[in-house]
Amino acid sequence: MNEATQILPAALAAAYTVFKSLNGRLASRLGQNWPPGPGEEIIANIHKFFADNLVGLGDQSFGFKIDLSASGRNEKLTARVVRRELMKVNGTVLITIDSALNVIEIVEVPSETEVRTWQDFFQDASTSNVVIYFEQRNCAKVFASGGIVDEFVPATGEKAGKFGRFSHNSLNYRQAIQDHYEQCVKHATESDHWEDSNKRILRKKKGSAKKTEEIFQNSLLNWLRINLIDGTPWPEPRKPNKDRADIKIEVLGGRFYLIEIKWMGTSGGSTIRKLDRLSGGLKQLTQYLEEQPCPSHATLVAYDGRDEHEFDALISTHSPIGGMKSLSECEQVKVPIGGSCCVFFLYNKRASEL
């Protein structure tokens, strides 16, 4: 018996605790599509699936969608079934299963492209169902209602990779925004926002994001959903005849925080955004803070794809990390009381190349 086999039972018991904790959040996110009773049953079956098949799955990537309203055929989801189906395709597969893990349907997922990753596909597939993306042995992601719910190591139940190290209370949401920049955006490691990095041209769209701003919004929203311990981040609902913030973080007790997202630079080679986007965002921030109910705090986050000398010309009150500037005003528009403004520079070289 090797070391991995020896630690597996205890590790998977810990993973079951993580799965059980998901049940309430999934019920809240999906409503009648995830009733708590059947949810408990599927949680137990998924735990058993990982316990029985984790070694056989290795690092093969695939996804499975859980449909509690249907019944599958007699074939159960196993590592053997996954390997067999992956041999038939060039990309990966999405396997729809019922609460007993019987296979309902198997759909081929095309190979990843520059504008659409497997994660994009699985996230889009989770509109009304839970989708679990087994990215590799050390990382599984849970999607529901079109957004990420959690990310963990299947064998241990621990938070996957870096995400476990960056958990914050909602009160510290601005630190979470900085962490997201450092880990995902600064060198485009996960946001993948460049269409042509050499020419500093941003993408117009990517996956489910239909415009440049949404690329950054979706990336930040997913990060906050994973790393905020006590808050629920959502795109703020539209309000009649008023601007809405890009992200609203709701906390029990009625507190909430707002995030407005802007970008500067060139997108798609034709759309250009300059400093007026920043001053316009500050005016929106003032509006949000004057509304009732009033947010506990609001932040303008701007991602700067302009040339570096233009970023350097911004006058900063302080720069806690490289590539970030905190502003008190822009084009004579001041940051309102109860608000803040941070600008993040988008590097077009990897960290190893600097």
pLDDT at 61: 87
344 lies in the same domain as 244:
yes
Tell me how many domains the chain contains. Answer: 2
Task: Using a pLDDT cut of 90, give the percent of the chain over it.
Answer: 44
pLDDT at 349: 73
210 lies in the same domain as 256:
yes
The pLDDT-based confidence of 10 (bands split at 50, 70, 90) is low
Nearest CA to 218 out of 168, 284, 147 is that of 147
Beta bridge partners of 326: 318, 342
153 lies in the same domain as 291:
no
Q: What tens digit of pLDDT does each residue of 154-211 get? A: 766 666 544 456 778 899 999 999 999 998 899 988 888 999 999 999 999 988 788 9
Residue 222 is which amino acid? Answer: N
Boundary (domain end) residue, out of 163, 183, 200: 163
The pLDDT-based confidence of 8 (bands split at 50, 70, 90) is very low
211 lies in the same domain as 156:
no
pLDDT at 244: 83
pLDDT at residue 77 greater than cutoff 70: yes
Domain housing 317: 166-353
Higher-scoring residue by pLDDT: 49, 242: 49
176 lies in the same domain as 294:
yes
Boundary (domain end) residue, out of 115, 141, 163: 163
Average pLDDT over residues 225-252: 80
135 lies in the same domain as 197:
no
159 lies in the same domain as 170:
no
pLDDT at 17: 59
Beta bridge partners of 206: 209
Start-to-end Cα distance in the chain: 46
Residue 346 is which amino acid? Answer: L
Gap between the Cα atoms of 323 and 349, Å rounded: 13
Average pLDDT over residues 113-133: 84
Pairing of strands 329-330, 324-326: unpaired
Average pLDDT over residues 201-226: 90
133 lies in the same domain as 174:
no
Give whole-number Cα distances, 289 to 122, 252, 297, in Å. 36, 20, 8
pLDDT at residue 224 greater than cutoff 50: yes
153 lies in the same domain as 181:
no
Q: What tens digit of pLDDT does each residue of 12-66 get? A: 555 555 566 677 778 777 777 787 677 878 877 887 888 788 878 877 889 999 9
Average pLDDT over residues 307-326: 90
Residue 223 is which amino acid? Answer: W
Tell me what the pLDDT averaged over the chain comes to. 84
145 lies in the same domain as 188:
no
Q: pTM for this structure?
A: 0.60
Query: Which pair of tokens denotes residue 174?
Result: 């601005």
pLDDT at residue 134 greater than cutoff 50: yes
55 lies in the same domain as 32:
yes
Pairing of strands 201-202, 231-234: unpaired
226 lies in the same domain as 295:
yes
pLDDT at residue 3 greater than cutoff 70: no
The pLDDT-based confidence of 110 (bands split at 50, 70, 90) is confident
Q: Are the C-beta atoms of residues 165 and 270 closer than 8 Å to each other?
A: no
Three-class DSSP labels, the chain: CCHHHHHHHHHHHHHHHHHHHHHHHHHHHHHHHCCHHHHHHHHHHHHHHHHHHHHHHCCCCEEEEECCCCCCCCCECCHHHHHHHHCCCCCEEEEEECCCCEEEEEEEECCCCCCCCHHHHHHHCCCCCEEEEEEECCEEEEEECCEEEEEECCCCCCECHHHHHCCECHHHHHHHHHHHHHHHHCCCCCCCCEEECCCCEECCCECCECCHHHHHHHHHHHHHHHHECCEEEECCCCECCECCCCEEEEECCCCEEEEEEEEEEEECCCEEECHHHHHHHHHHHHHHHHCCCCCCEEEEEEEECCCHHHHHCCCCCECCCCCEEECCEECCEECCCCEEEEEEECCCCCHHHC
Query: Which pair of tokens denotes residue 189?
Result: 């490691």
The pLDDT-based confidence of 93 (bands split at 50, 70, 90) is very high
Boundary (domain end) residue, out of 120, 148, 163: 163
